[in-house]
Amino acid sequence: MPIYEYVCSDCNARFELMRSMSRSEEAAECPKCKHNAERVLSGFACFSSDESGMTSAVGGSSCAGCMSGNCATCAG
């Protein structure tokens, strides 16, 4: 069962729920304020090792020099 990420528009709480794909578009109740929260796109990082054992990031960030995913925090 997939894990979906939600953000509450009332209190800005961010939380995850494990639910079936058939319920993925349904609003979720915020655990803090009990208002409806909408699903948001989750970001993730993936790492890969080559034959020499070197580990590198694969995909994810648009910033080539860091893994923040936010160019405001780097020189990218």
- Per the domain annotation, does 51 fall within a domain? no
62 domain residue, yes or no: no
Answer whether residue 15 is part of any domain: yes
pLDDT for res 15: 94
Q: Rounded distance, CA 65 to CA 70, Å?
A: 11
Q: Per-residue pLDDT averaged across 10-31, rounded?
A: 92
Task: Using the predicted structure, report yes or no on whether residue 62 has a pLDDT greater than 80.
Answer: no
Task: Tell whether 21 is covered by a domain.
Answer: yes
In angstroms, rounded to a whole number, what is the distance separating the alpha carbons of residues 32 and 7?
11
20 within a domain of the structure (yes/no): yes
| Positions of E strands within the chain | 3-8, 14-18, 28-29, 36-40, 46-49, 55-58
What confidence category does residue 24 fall into, taking pLDDT thresholds of 50, 70 and 90?
A: confident
d(CA 7, CA 74): 26
Indicate the pLDDT class of residue 59, thresholds 50, 70 and 90.
low
Quote the domain boundaries for residue 20: 3-40
What is the number of domains present in the chain? 1
Q: What is the mean pLDDT of residues 66-76?
A: 50
Distances (CA, A) of 49 to 43, 54, 71: 21, 5, 25
How far apart CA 11 and CA 8 sit, in angstroms, is 6
Single pTM value for the model: 0.56
In a domain, 55, yes or no: no
Residue 71 lies in a domain: no
pLDDT of residue 66: 53
